[in-house]
Each structure stands twice: as C-alpha cells, then as structure tokens.
Chains A and B, each alone.
Chain A
Amino acid sequence: MIVEDGQEIVIRVRGLAKSFGSHQIWESLDLDVFRGEILAIVGGSGQGKSVLMRVITGLVEPDNGVVTLFGQEEQTLSAEARLEIEKRWGILFQDGALFSSLTVLQNIQVPMREHLNLPQSMMDDLAFLKLSMVGLRPEAAHKYPSELSGGMRKRAGLARALALDPEIVFLDEPTAGLDPIGASEFDHLIRKLQQTLGLTVYMVTHDLDTIFTVCDRVAVLADQKIVRTGSPAELQSKPDHPWIEEYFCGERARAASPAEERRVVS
C-alpha cells in the first residue's frame, strides 16, 4: 500500500511510454489515483485516454513504465495475484459490453459465478439488488441486451461492474450517447454509488457537465503526458496550458461551469 500526504494511492503510474507504429502516444506519463476520489481523465482525441485505461487494466501492454495497483507492481504479478486484483475492480466499457447471449440478470451474475461459489438464490437476490441500485426496473432483469436502450445497457453494464463490490470502477465515457437528462441522471448515480459503496472512480470522459458536477479531480492528457491535475475549478481559474484554456474556458465550458453561472446571476 502506498500512502502519501495521508491519502492512500490505489493506482500509481510512473514513466509510462507507448507507441503504435511510428505514432508515439506518451513518452513518460505519471499519474496517481487516490482512494475514494472521482477522477476524470480528459484530453483531445488521439491522446490515448482509452488506451491509458486499457494499460492500467492490463488489456494493453505498455512499451515502458510501471503500473502499481493496490501497492503491487502489475508487470510482476503472478496469475493468481492478478485474479485477486481483478476481483477488486469493475469496468464499464463504452457500450456496456454486455454478453449478448445472456439476460441482464445473468450478465450481472457472471463475475460472481466465475470468482465465487454462491448459492443461486443468493446470486439472484444480489444481482437484483445491484440492478435496483443502478436504477433499472425489475422488468429489465430477464431481458437480453439487444432489447435494451443505450442508457439501460450502460446501467446494466455498471451493475455488472459493481457485481463483486469492487474498490475501483473504471468508466469509459459513461455519459457518451445519452441525452442530457439521462446523462445528468447517470452523473448523480455515479456520485451516489461512490458515496454509498465507498468507491474510487476512474473515468474517461468528454462531458464537461459530468466533470463539473461529480468529479473531484481532473487529469489532463496532452503533449504525450499528463500535463496537469487538479480540481475542475482550479483548472478553470488557472489553465496554464493552451488546450486546458480552450477546454475549460471555451464556450461550452462556460455553459457547464457552476462558477460562471453564479457570476451571471450576481
């Protein structure tokens, strides 16, 4: 376990480098994720936001650098230790990535079935509880993913990510493709679940509304590294970087930011 300034660091990334062919994505990327926070990763397209999530979750091998998860170096993990760590995180992929041949309830039970030996009745009840926690109606339990709308698929995917009560959830563009009302509901859902379950949330997002309403900290990917981290308000008041300035002080940001709103009112 790594502790710094009285806060536990659950994910530590140091000196990460990755290139695809001749295209260098990062040269030396450093990032810390603290326990209990909601961290947003932002950056222009092609900066490797999703790739970073895939590197941390072990789906993509980095060229260089070290990823430390819960105090253990990812590259040196044995297969069993890795399995233990996989039980401690949940991942929501962009379109839910639900298994299309299983019903929603069965999808949520997949991690329980794989990792634990629970009686079926208990798995049913727990899965149903998770379903209700992410705000899906009980009728959705026996539906197949193809019968659900995009928003419902995301919620069902989140329920599957939460199946084992993980410590960290990774969210890949959780509000992309949702209407503003649905997106705002999803934001509140994330905040509520984070408080109820004591989660650490790592999300890749473009959505300024999400950043301003739920995120504790933002990490900005630009120039092949994390150029800055800080609270949304900090980044907005002191951008210090052309991309951050454009992103946090542009037209859309002014519409989304709570600080700007107050200024208009007063």
Chain B
Amino acid sequence: MLKRDNQFVLQTETEAPGFRVELRGTTFRLIASGAWTISEAAVLDEELKRLKVPIPPSSEFTGEMDISGIAEIDTSGAWLLQRTAGAWQRGGLKTRYAGATDSFRILIEEVHRRGQGELPEIDEVSPFQQFVETTKKSASSIWQDTIALTSFLGEVTVAAARAVREPWRFRPISFIHHLDYAGLRALPIIFLICFLIGAVVMQQGVVQLSYFGAEVMAVNMVAILSLREVGILLTSIMVAGRSGSAFTAEIGSMKMREEIDAMRTLGIDPMDTLVLPRVAALIVALPLLTFMGDIAALVGGGVMAWVMLGLDPPLYIDKLQEIVSFRHFMVGMIKAPFAAIIIALVGCLEGLRVQGSAESLGTHVTAAVVKAIFLVICIDGIFAMFLAGIGQ
C-alpha cells in the first residue's frame, strides 16, 4: 500500500473511500478520495460499476481522474481507477490522471501495463457433455486398468522368475518387515472382526431357523459359510484396507519424492526391492490370516451356540467334525493366495502411478483399496462358479 507522502502519519485514520463525478467546462472529472485499498475494493467496485460512462457531446470533451484526494492506494485501487479510465477512453473520452505523486504514478502505470493481457478462458463444458466425457473416461479406464494390471502381473512374474534364478536379488529383510506389518500386526483386528461376524451369523441363523425347528442347523450354516466364504472375504477386505493402502502410500510417496527414479539410476530395480517383497509377504501372510479368521469365526459361532442353544464346546466341536470336511476348508484357503496377489499388485501398481501432488497420492490410495476389494469379490465369484462346476 502506498501512502500519499512518505511522511508517516501518526493518525492512521483516513477519510472514507469514495468518489464523485462532476463536469467542469469540457472536462468530466472523477474526484477520488480516501483510501483506495483492497479492503475497500468491494464497495468501490460496486459503486464504480453503477457509474455510467459519460457520453461526450462533442469531441473536445475530456476526462480526468483527479486522485489528489487519495491518501492510500494499492494495486486493487489502481486497477479500479484504471478500469474506469479505460471504459471512459473507449467511450470516446480522452482521459488523463491529475494529482498523482511519483509513487502513485509508477504503480498506476505498472497496473496499466500489466492489465493489458486477457485472462485465458477455461473452456466451459456443458454439464451433459461433462457427463458424457466422464462416462467415456471411466469406461475406457476400466479397459486401461485391465491392461495395466495384466502387464504388471507379467512384470512381477518375470521378476519373480529372475529372483528364483538369481536368489541374491530377493530382499529377505524387506520381506520379513512386510510379513510383520501386513501379517502379524493385522492378526488382532482380523481375529476380532471374524469372531464378531461368526457370532452374529450364528445368532441370526438360530432365530430364523427356529421357525422350522431346525435351530441346530445354524451350526452347519456358520461352519460352512465361515470356512468357504466369510473367513477369506473378511480377511481380504481388511488386508486390502490395511496393507493395500499402505503399499500405495509408501510407494507413492517415494515416487513423489523421486526416490524411485533415484533407485533406477543407481541400478536398483524397484520391482526387486519394492514390489516383490510385498507381493511375496502377502502371499505368505494372507493364507495364515485367513486360517486365523476361520478359527475366529468358528469360535464366535461356538460362543453364540453355547449361549442360545446350550451347545457346550465339546458338543460343538463334535458337531463341527461331523459337518465340516477338509474340502470345505480348502475351498476357502485356495482363494487366499489369489486374493493376496490381487491386493499386493493393485497396491503397488497404484503406488507407481502416483504423480507429483499430494492430492494424486490420496486419489490413488483410495483407488487401490476400492479396486482391490472389487477384484477380490470378483475372484470369489469366479471361484464359486468354477467350484460348483467341478462339483465341490
């Protein structure tokens, strides 16, 4: 903000900003006063917009911006003056400034010079067109994602084959670290969730089946359901939310800070150091976690059976042995490594797709979790059809 004189004013009160227009002789004068600063700009803008450009009756009429009454001015004030002067000028009135100090003039000239260019327009798109565009984009992104995920699976397979041939490429410490984080530390939450779901399913089952007098069949339902579907699905969803997102965030923030580029230039393959240990760790961890999830669901169901049916633990275990065969257990377990591969691949791939900004990191973490859960459920459906087809 520029003050009229470089003397400091001990009293900081300045006149209220404003202006009036008068015609003296053949000159239209805009007499401005007070502080023309950004805090007053909204009011001034409003009033200046209401001001009509004076129509000169003949060509000898001129305009004048008398700013000798202005005590303080800043860029926005200068811009407002300049806008008004420009409008007068275009209206056929030669307009000049009067009463400007040196510093005021420098500012006004600078604003005049800088204000020449036009603000580039953003292309306005109609909402309908926007809708069509987004639909097109998301449809094609499904296809692109499929291709990207497939080729990434190929790359990881090649890297894994290479690691088998040249075992020194594999990073055991990183593998153990992720096994700890994605596996061991996920155990309590997975145990708790599966336990609760097992109990809830048992309770609902008992209530519904009691209409047929077949309450005991609820045990069959819980046992088969937990082993074949609930254990693996809940575990995968939890791991996707917990570890899939962590993979994306870790790799993505490394990508943001160019650490991955640095690795490549140092001759380190990010596939070996970042992706492979994570994929391997999940392939080991997820079946183990699924096993624990199965047990937890059965225990939860057992507790509820005891409470609601009076089925004490030895009886419950006997009943389980009668109902459950090894193939039910295997149907659930066989899906675990596939779910693990999907979660790890989607997590790592989305991480590598992160661009410079923090916002992009957020978008990709969300995408990783959503895609991983969606694909895990798809795979589960495919397995269900396949296993039904072969009579399991």
Contact = CB atoms under 8 A, between A and B. Distances in A.
A165 B119 contact: no
B196 interface: no
A3 B6 CA distance: 13
B119 A125 contact: yes
Contacts of B75: 126, 129-130, 133, 162, 165, 197
A146 interface: yes
**Chain A interface size, under 10 / 10 to 19 / 20 to 34 / 35 or more:** 35 or more
B76 A126 contact: yes
B197 to A, nearest CB: 38
Contacts of A138: 117-120
A165 B197 CA distance: 60
A117 B358 CA distance: 29
Given A101-B358, A196-B107, A132 B42 contact: no
B385 interface: no
B110 A144 contact: no
Contacts of B41: 116, 118, 122, 126
Contacts of B117: 128, 132, 138
B118 A146 contact: no
Contacts of B356: 100, 146-147
B262 interface: no
Interface residues of B, number: 35
Interface string A1-31: 1010000100000000000000000000000
A35 interface: yes
B74 A197 contact: yes
Contact of A144 (B10, B12, B115, B357): B357
A142 B1 contact: no
Nearest to B44: A122
Contacts of A232: none
B37 interface: yes
Contact of A165 (B10, B42, B45, B74): B74
A124 interface: yes
Interface string A150-175: 00000000000010110100000000
A118 B106 contact: no
Nearest to A199: B1
Given A118-B45, A122-B45, A197 B107 contact: yes
B103 interface: yes
A122 B115 CA distance: 12
Most chain A beta-carbon contacts within 10 A, residue among B41, B79, B106, B115? B41
A237 interface: no
A101 B74 CA distance: 29
Interface in A80-98: 87
A164 B38 contact: yes
B265 interface: no
B366 interface: no
8 contacts: A87-B39, A101-B359, A116-B38, A124-B119, A125-B115, A130-B75, A138-B117, A197-B1
Interface of B: 1-3, 6, 8, 10, 12, 37-39, 41-42, 45, 74-76, 79, 103, 106-107, 110-111, 114-115, 117-120, 122, 355-360
Interface of A: 1, 3, 8, 35-36, 87, 100-101, 112, 116-119, 122, 124-126, 128-130, 132-133, 138-139, 141-142, 144-147, 162, 164-165, 167, 195-198
- Top 7 A-B residue pairs of the complex, sorted by shortest distance between their CB atoms: A146-B356, A165-B74, A100-B357, A132-B114, A101-B359, A146-B357, A198-B2
